[in-house]
């Protein structure tokens, strides 16, 4: 075999297969996208255009432009109350994806374990494996609002455990951690001497209350690698521009890998990010307000259809339970796509504990969300009729009750249509 065992051992992304089906179809209302529907604010694009006109086309320092690191330091202090020295504690990366890879490679020795609360972003486990580590998934569920349970984390700690990799606000669930949760997590990290890699890419997309950064908690700055970037809040996904902040030894180690593999982030993207830091916040806040409106609208719509979901407190995803339909996540997503041409992502793409849920993004206009809800309503009603037909001779829904468990009551709220 010509491919390495590690690479070969990693299954193809569940999302990829889905994408192949969707891209062959027409008239699809997609709720499957993990990026903003907004185009990068014009003043940011214009700053990049200007930098090109001025001939900024070279390599930058491996660390990234000093003036950008200075602006990032100000942004972090202003928005999350964390202080970092731009000269030695901030590294500009090519997306948080790169930062995550660097962080894992910088701290893991072969066989070291990383605790990864699930459901989570698709790249965490593969990146840990690529870095020679052992990902240890920690399941969380709707019962705790998809907040990771500290007891479960603690129970999974072994002498080989090096780090906890968290992502709040969370993709795919939209869950956030409260200060109290974070404090307990911090206490665990300190007690067991663990590093926390905190992917806070959705921090600015926090709707109820303020985002609390892991690094802002007492004693945590020295053991936290904070990852954040411009993709989500400033609608800059395609620019691939982000940053890592942490204690000098860890950031220096990450920079060592970065300088030999990536060299530096694109200078055009760095110039754009500079403008985002300096003047982008008002437009960012405008986008956040719109996500917030869509969030409420969408959650209410889904709950009205009997697809129970908690109100997500951050990011731009809703993670409704689809158990009331009696389908698995994969079946639900695939049938919904085939029958009503709505694309959502099966929860299992984000880990086994995503079963029974699908991820719907609300980075879409209200009109698109309204249309998607109409189609999902038709789909759910159709399912309900099928279930009812399957129970002929019995009292309506009785057997289905047994099949689908207690959450069946939600489906009963959906008006049957013939």
Partner 1 sequence: MENTVRRVLEILERDARTPPADIGAMLGVDEAEVRRTIQECERKKFIRRYKTIVDWEKTGDDSVLAFIDVRVSPAREVGFDDVAARIYGFPEVVAVNLVSGGYDLQVTVRGPSLKDVAMFVAEKLATIDRVNSTTTHFLLRRYKEDGEVLVEPEEDRRLAVTP
Q: What is the contact surface with partner 1 in residues (CB under 8 A)?
A: 13, 15, 18-19, 22-23, 28, 30, 32-35, 37, 39, 121-123, 171, 289, 293-294, 296-297, 300-301, 343, 345, 349, 366, 370
CA distances, 10 to each of 129, 137, 139, 297, 417 (Å) = 9, 15, 19, 38, 44
Tokens of 160: 């080989």
> From the CB of 370, what's the least distance to partner 1, in Å?
8
Neighbours of 265 (CB within 10 A): 27
359 within 8 A of 321, measured Cβ to Cβ = no
The residue among 113 and 283 lying less far from partner 1, judged by its C-beta, is 283
**Are the beta carbons of 227 and 244 closer than 8 angstroms?**
yes
Between residues 333 and 387, which has the closer beta carbon with respect to partner 1?
A: 333
User: 241 vs 342, which CB is nearer to partner 1?
Assistant: 342
d(CA 272, CA 101): 23
In angstroms, give the least distance from the CB of 44 to partner 1.
16
We find the least distance from the C-beta atom of residue 39 to partner 1, in angstroms, to be: 6
CA 315 to chain centre: 7
The CB-based long-range contact list for 216-221 (8 Å cut-off, 24+ gap) reads 216/80, 216/81, 216/82, 217/182, 217/183, 217/186, 218/186, 219/186, 219/190, 220/186, 220/189, 220/190, 220/196, 221/82, 221/247
Residue number with CB closer to partner 1 (28 or 412):
28
Q: To the nearest whole angstrom, how small is the minimum distance from the Cβ of residue 34 to partner 1? A: 5
Identity of the residue, 35 or 67, whose beta carbon is nearer to partner 1 in the bound complex: 35
Minimum CB–partner distance for residue 36 and partner 1 (Å)? 9
Q: What is the CA radius of gyration of the chain?
A: 22
Nearer to partner 1, 163 or 373 (CB): 373
Closest separation in Å from C-beta 369 to partner 1: 10
**Cβ of residue 412: shortest distance to partner 1, in angstroms?**
22
Residue 137 pairs in a beta bridge with 116
CB burial of 216-230 (b: ≥16 within 10 Å; e: otherwise) equals: bbeebbebbbbbbbb
**Nearest-approach distance from CB 21 to partner 1, in angstroms:** 9
CB of 122 to partner 1, least distance (A): 4
Rounded to 5 degrees, φ, ψ at 43 are: -65, -30
56 or 297: CB nearest partner 1: 297
**Which residue number, 22 or 150, has a Cβ lying nearer to partner 1?**
22
CB 170, CB 198: distance < 8 Å = no
Provide DSSP, 70-81: HHHHHHHHHHH-
Residues facing residue 244 across a β-bridge? 91, 227
DSSP codes, 194-245: -EEEEE-TTTT-B-SS----GGGSTTTGGGEEEEEESTTTTT-GGG--EEEE
For partner 1, give the closer residue by CB, 74 or 374. 374
Cα-based angle 242, 243, 245 (whole degrees, multiple of 5): 160
Q: How far is the CB of 13 from partner 1 (least distance, A)?
A: 7
Closer by beta carbon to partner 1, 350 or else 379: 350
């Amino acid at each position: 075999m010509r491919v390495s065992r590690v690479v070969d051992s990693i299954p193809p992304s569940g999302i990829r297969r889905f994408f192949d089906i969707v891209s062959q179809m027409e008239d699809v209302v997609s709720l499957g996208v993990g990026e903003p529907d907004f185009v990068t604010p014009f003043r940011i694009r214009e700053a990049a255009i200007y930098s090109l006109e001025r001939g900024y086309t070279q390599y930058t320092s491996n660390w990234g432009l000093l003036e950008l690191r200075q602006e990032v330091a100000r942004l972090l202090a202003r928005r999350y109350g964390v202080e970092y020295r731009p000269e030695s504690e901030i590294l500009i990366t090519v997306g948080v994806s790169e930062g995550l890879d660097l962080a894992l490679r910088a701290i893991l020795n072969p066989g070291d374990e990383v605790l990864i609360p699930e459901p989570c972003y698709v790249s965490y486990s593969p990146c840990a494996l690529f870095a020679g580590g052992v990902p240890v998934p920690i399941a969380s569920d709707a019962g705790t609002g998809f907040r990771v349970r500290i007891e479960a984390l603690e129970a999974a700690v072994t002498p080989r455990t090096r780090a906890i990799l968290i992502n709040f606000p969370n993709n795919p669930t939209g869950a956030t951690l409260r200060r109290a949760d974070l404090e307990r997590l911090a206490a665990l990290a300190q007690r067991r001497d663990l590093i926390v890699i905190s992917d806070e890419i959705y921090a600015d997309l926090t709707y109820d209350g303020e985002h609390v950064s892991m690094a802002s908690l007492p004693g945590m700055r020295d053991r936290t690698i904070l990852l954040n970037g411009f993709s989500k809040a400033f609608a800059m996904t395609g620019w691939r521009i982000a940053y890592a902040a942490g204690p000098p030894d860890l950031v220096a180690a990450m920079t060592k890998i970065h300088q030999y593999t990536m060299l530096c982030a694109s200078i055009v993207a760095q110039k754009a990010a500079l403008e985002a830091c300096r003047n982008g916040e008002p437009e960012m806040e405008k986008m956040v307000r719109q996500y917030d409106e869509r969030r409420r609208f969408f959650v209410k719509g889904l709950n009205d259809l009997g697809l129970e979901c908690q109100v997500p407190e951050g990011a731009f995803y809703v993670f409704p339970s689809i158990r009331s339909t009696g389908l698995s996540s994969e079946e639900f997503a695939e049938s919904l796509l085939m029958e009503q041409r709505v694309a959502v992502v099966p929860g299992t793409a984000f880990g086994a504990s995503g079963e029974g849920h699908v991820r719907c993004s609300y980075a879409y206009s209200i009109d698109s969300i309204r249309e998607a809800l109409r189609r999902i309503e038709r789909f759910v009603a159709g399912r309900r009729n099928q279930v009812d037909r399957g129970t002929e001779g019995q009292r309506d829904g009785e057997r289905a009750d047994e099949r689908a468990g207690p959450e069946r009551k939600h489906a009963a709220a959906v008006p049957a249509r013939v």
